[in-house]
Amino acid sequence: MLYSEKVMDHFANPRNVGEIENADGVGEVGNAKCGDIMRMYLKIEGDTIVDVKFKTFGCGAAVATSSMATELIKGKKIEEAMKLTNKAVVEALDGLPAVKLHCSVLAEEAIKAALNDYYTKKGIKMPGLETPCSGCCEGCCSHE
Amino acid sequence: MSRFVYADNAATTKMDKDVFEIMIKSLEEDYGNPSSIYKKGRDAKVLIEKARKQVADGIGAKESEIIFTSGGSESDNYAIKGIAKAKANKGKHIISSKIEHHAVLHTLEALSKEGYEITYLDVLENGIIDIEELKKAIREDTILITIMFANNEIGTIQPVEEIGKIARENKIIFHTDAVQAVGHVKVDVNEMNIDMLSMSAHKFGGPKGVGALYIKSGIKPENFIFGGAQERGKRAGTENTASIIAMGAAIEKITSEMEKNTIKVQAMRDKLIDTILEKIPYTRLNGDREKRLPGNVNISFRFIEGESLLLMLDLKGICASSGSACTSGSLDPSHVLLSIGLPHEIAHGSLRLSINHENTMEDVEYILEVLPQVVERLREMSPLYDEINKKG
């Protein structure tokens, strides 16, 4: 299995690793049994994501997609972040092996879960964010 | 300090330098078809027969009991399918274990679709089968017991001699996949009551694409490849002369140096195991501590995933292997690690280092310098490690 140079770069030098204290939104998807867990922390000011950090347990692709996804939404409006697709993450990484596409789905879901947490704390129900996937189904890959 | 450390010798070995030179010379010179009547062909035939003797000597067999194949997988397929077909009139029950190599497991799966019944023995936590369970599994219609000599992932060595004895007492054929054992631990087919044995040259300094199947005199599996009269008609196809000659040279060399190698390799293995378990918290050794291949280290690191670990080690010049789902290409981690009772999340974080006599203590020191840093780095990234630290 071959990873692109971009994937290897984001794996070897992941951006935005860590956590944010008193984050405005925290989302976690996946489970240890399947070998992938992603947790995203968001700092939101107004309608802008001013900071984002992640912690990931998983394979090289899981780390790289987490890193790339955080890069793609950092400094962006919430509205834009909500539109982030796993496909965009994959493209930004110059592709992923087919068996690793579910990792990109996890990254998308982790961001949505964090945004959902942000809105839930504010008492707002935001459509399209409610059900982060468990991160453990082969079916996930069909999101692509 | 950066260096290159090859620590995946259970996957394949670098060719031995002497063996390599023998093979290159043979590729150039021994091109005659060994079945041909003229001297160029006859000479090649003589060299193949010399290699056959070398391979036979390596496991205490007779030359006439060795069939050259394309490697371990073919030998396993040949042995299992060959006996299944030849003995179908006696019965269709086969006993194996849950931790076999896929070359055995998938062959058995294919047979089960043809009406054969397979009993897969569980293994104990140390990866060794329970002899009592084996005895209980034997039936009137059992035709074959196939249990590996030593496991490729966790290095566990099975009580082969005892299994063979039980098979003999019950007049059942005993085949063992000894791909990981030959050249690394003593193998004697007579002392160990082995009827059939698979081996592969590239696991002991020989080339890839060549192996052998030992078939005890009197045992007659159905022929595997039909065609010409090569390998006494049992396995047709023009011989892979240079590879066979190299395999003979490789087994002769490695078995003659086994005692010396074992002392060296075991010392390196023990240093790796002891230091890793002592220095890095939340680790466990997989497989038996004593009944273990001299070069096998298999350790699980909690809170991290194996593929990430391998990639990080690779960036530091270290080649290793893992039983995580991501490296197995499926959603489940290694069947071997699950069979010894590891939960999925711990199996995902496994690392196999397999060293041999070509490694040095400097390699070991380097691994021991790099590995704790890499594990710590991945753990700092892991949300699971977080939770443990916060709990205290």
Spell out the domain ranges in chain A.
5-121
| pLDDT in the model for residue A103 | 87
ipTM of the complex: 0.90
Report the C-alpha gap between B205 and B203 in whole angstroms: 6
As a whole-number percent, the residues of chain A with pLDDT over 90 amount to 76
| pLDDT in the model for residue B327 | 64
The H or E element that residue B111 is part of is helix B102-112
Report the C-alpha gap between B289 and B350 in whole angstroms: 16
* A57, two tokens: 């347990």
| pLDDT in the model for residue B13 | 98
Cβ-Cβ contacts under 8 Å, A14 against chain B: 381
Tell me, yes or no, if A133 is annotated catalytic.
no
CA quadruple B104, B107, B113, B117: dihedral positive or negative? negative
Cβ-Cβ contacts under 8 Å, A57 against chain B: 303-305, 381-385
Residue listed under structure tokens 């052998």: B212
Query: In this complex, do B331 and A138 lie within 8 Å of one another by their Cβ atoms?
Result: yes
Report the C-alpha gap between B299 and B233 in whole angstroms: 45
Question: Given pLDDT bands bounded at 50, 70 and 90, which one contains residue A18?
Answer: very high
Which of the residues in chain B have pLDDT under 50? none
**Per-residue pLDDT tens digits for A34-93:** 889 999 999 999 999 999 999 999 999 999 999 999 999 999 999 999 999 999 999 999
Confirm or reject contact between B325 and chain A (CB < 8 A).
yes
Query: In a 3-state reduction of DSSP, which class is residue B184?
Result: coil
Confirm or reject contact between A27 and chain B (CB < 8 A).
no
| pLDDT in the model for residue B87 | 98
Nearest beta carbon to residue A33 from set B311, B344, B385:
B344
The DSSP result for A22-87, as a single string, is: T-SEEEEEEEGGGTEEEEEEEEEETTEEEEEEEEEES-HHHHHHHHHHHHHHTT-BHHHHHT--HH
Question: Given pLDDT bands bounded at 50, 70 and 90, which one contains residue A141?
Answer: very low
Query: In this complex, do A35 and B383 lie within 8 Å of one another by their Cβ atoms?
Result: no
For residue B341, the 8-state DSSP code is T
Confirm or reject contact between A16 and chain B (CB < 8 A).
no
Tell me which amino acid residue B195 is.
D
Using alpha carbons only, what angle is made at residue B144 by residues B138 and B149, rounded to the nearest 5 degrees?
100
| pLDDT in the model for residue A1 | 67
Query: In this complex, do A37 and B383 lie within 8 Å of one another by their Cβ atoms?
Result: yes
| pLDDT in the model for residue B389 | 77
Residue listed under structure tokens 């490694």: B359
Closest to B151 (Cα-Cα) out of B106, B102, B109, B194:
B102
Report the C-alpha gap between B346 and B157 in whole angstroms: 22
Tell me which amino acid residue B331 is.
L
Confirm or reject contact between A2 and chain B (CB < 8 A).
no
Confirm or reject contact between A95 and chain B (CB < 8 A).
no
Most distant CA atoms of chain B, gap in Å: 79
Interface of B with A in 277-316 (CB under 8 A): 303-308, 311-312, 315
Between A and B, how many residue pairs show a Cβ–Cβ distance under 8 A? 73
Report the C-alpha gap between B157 and A134 in whole angstroms: 39
The contacts of residue A84 (CB under 8 Å, 6+ apart) are: A69, A72, A73, A108, A111
CB B193, CB B165: distance < 8 Å: yes
Query: In this complex, do B384 and A37 lie within 8 Å of one another by their Cβ atoms?
Result: yes
Active-site position among A34, A59, A136, A141? A34
Residue listed under structure tokens 């496994």: B350
| pLDDT in the model for residue B329 | 61
Query: In this complex, do A17 and B386 lie within 8 Å of one another by their Cβ atoms?
Result: no
The contacts of residue B300 (CB under 8 Å, 6+ apart) are: B283, B284, B286, B337, B342, B346, B347, B349, B350, B351
How far is residue A66 from each of residues A13, A82, B233, B310, measured CA to CA in Å? 12, 15, 58, 19
CB A138, CB B331: distance < 8 Å: yes
Q: Residue B227 — left, alpha, or beta (φ > 0 → left; ψ -120 to 50 → alpha)?
A: left
CATH code for A5-121? 3.90.1010.10
Cβ-Cβ contacts under 8 Å, B326 against chain A: 35, 58-61, 100
| pLDDT in the model for residue A142 | 35
Query: In a 3-state reduction of DSSP, which class is residue A9?
Result: helix
User: Does the pLDDT at position A139 exceed 50?
Assistant: no
| Helix axes of A60-73 and A101-121: crossing angle, nearest 10 degrees | 50
Active site residues of B: 326
Task: State the smallest CA–CA distance between residue B327 and chain A in angstroms.
Answer: 9
Mean pLDDT of A124-128: 82
Q: How many CB atoms lie within 10 A of CB A121?
A: 11
